[in-house]
Structure 1
Amino acid sequence: MEFNVQQLERSNLYQLLVGCILPRPIAWVSTQDLKGACNLAPFSFFNVMSINPPLLGISILKQASERDKDTLANIRLTGELVVNIVSQQLAEAMNASCGAYPADVDEFELAGVAKVQSTTVKPPGVGEAPVRLECTLHQCLTFGHGTGAGNLVLAEVRHIHVAERVWRDGAIDDVALQAVGKLGGDRYSLGQPAFSLSRPEPGLQRG
């Protein structure tokens, strides 16, 4: 199959792209507004962007209403967020939080997860999350106009919480983590079964 992107409807292009790029890690982002009201929502356009400085990239797409999603509005106002990693145990709670709810709805309560106080930022994290990354806003880049336009949040990691149950021999154990990835449509995956490949030795030329 061949596709001319310029000739695709926006919804068809979205389905094609999210069907190509997978599995995508999920950033379950908790924020607060200036009055302290909490918001919790998942985003699968997410990954590590840099180690020095330690930056995460989360793209929050623009809605048809042109209004910023509550997560993005809170990040712009306060400059703070927590990225919670979704384990298999938390998949249904994460899914419950992804609806288009009014700003005054507390998705922590809706999803039935606990708020835990953060160390370096005001927004709470998800108490049950195996990993929580406390972040501040480094930069926000906007691409395009209208529905589907991207707002790339570059978040600088300030503090990381790792649950003892997923820490093995000085590193995070991916088997114990059971991180959930997003596929196309309503489908999700786990990073199992995994396989290993040794990297080429330094100095070897690859033909």
Structure 2
Amino acid sequence: MTLSATHHALNFSDLTPREAYKVMIGTIVPRPIAWVTTVSPDGVVNAAPYSFFNCLSADPPILALGVENKPDRSFKDTAYNIRMTECFTVNIVDRANVEAMSVTAAGFDREVDELEMAGLTSAPGEKVACPRIAEAPVAFECERYLGIEVSSAREIILGRIVMAHVRNDIIDPATCYSDHERLDAIGRMGGNGYAGTLDYFDWPTPSAEDVLNGVRKKAATGGV
């Protein structure tokens, strides 16, 4: 293989947190979006999207959220509610709900119900005390598993999935396989960008034997 491009070497110890953030969100893409619903101790429902999110384990089933604190280092509503109630729900964002999701990202005061502002429907949780978003194609009810304070600015929250709600036309409950086209999930890019998951292709993982046979064939033919 001939290298046709050079790389900028970025030492993260020389970058400000904002610069590091820009490098990461512009290159670690697309990132799945956790549309998190929680409820305050006073019963106020909160909804907010987070793209520092992914699944980490299936046994036990664990999701991870990276939640940034407010500029004064106080907790955002999501982190505060999870600490106080020990539960949250991760709703998956599809193309049909992008506008509503963006409304819930606005900086409302703590007493404001973002679902109401976005015209969304709150459905009660079955295993946890907080609701899910009825319009979301998928929702994972989670119990707080562990909180990791990585700095005064950010916390990583691990949640154990205790219940999933998947729209009927998306999943085959007999095989647990989901139809990505019907799901039509949206991921986060850098800046204000989003990307859909319909740009999809299959690429099977080869066996070690297939790879070695290919190497031997190239060597025997002079790389042709």
TM-score (norm 2): 0.86
Residue of structure 1 aligned with 2:194, choices 183, 188, 207:
188
Q: Taking CA–CA contacts closer than 8 Å with sequence separation of 6 or more, which of the two structures ends up with the larger relative contact order?
A: 1
In the alignment, structure 2 segments of 5+ residues that lack a partner are 1-7, 213-224
More divergent stretch after superposition (14-23 vs 169-178): 169-178
CA distance in 1, matches of 2:63, 2:206: 27
Q: How many angstroms does 1:197 deviate by?
A: 1.1
CA distance in 2, matches of 1:200, 1:151: 38
Q: 2:184 matched to 1:178?
A: yes
Q: 2:145 matched to 1:141?
A: no
Q: 2:74 matched to 1:67?
A: yes
Q: How many angstroms does 1:165 deviate by?
A: 2.1
Residue of structure 1 aligned with 2:156, choices 135, 152, 157:
152
For 1:164, what is the secondary structure of its paired residue? coil
Residue of structure 1 aligned with 2:35, choices 12, 28, 31:
28
In the alignment, structure 1 segments of 5+ residues that lack a partner are none
* Aligned partner letter, 2:138: V
Residue 128 of structure 1 corresponds to 135
Q: How many angstroms does 1:115 deviate by?
A: 0.5
Q: 2:174 matched to 1:167?
A: no
Residue of structure 2 aligned with 1:198, choices 194, 204, 210:
204
Identity %: 33
Change (3 A) 1:138 1:205: farther
CA distance in 2, matches of 1:200, 1:63: 46
- The total of aligned residue pairs comes to 203
Q: 2:47 matched to 1:40?
A: yes
CA distance in 2, matches of 1:158, 1:141: 20
CA distance in 1, matches of 2:205, 2:85: 41
- 1:52-89 Cα offsets, whole Å, 9 max, x none, are 11000111012211110000000001101111000000
TM-score (norm 1): 0.93
More divergent stretch after superposition (185-194 vs 161-170): 161-170
* Aligned partner letter, 1:51: A
Q: How many angstroms does 1:24 deviate by?
A: 0.2
Q: How many angstroms does 1:205 deviate by?
A: 8.1
CA distance in 2, matches of 1:54, 1:5: 32
* Aligned partner letter, 1:113: L
CA distance in 2, matches of 1:165, 1:113: 20
CA RMSD across the alignment: 1.5
CA distance in 2, matches of 1:89, 1:72: 27
Q: How many angstroms does 1:204 deviate by?
A: 3.8
Residue of structure 2 aligned with 1:76, choices 77, 83, 94:
83
Q: How many angstroms does 1:38 deviate by?
A: 0.6
Residue of structure 2 aligned with 1:106, choices 107, 113, 125:
113
Q: 2:16 matched to 1:14?
A: no
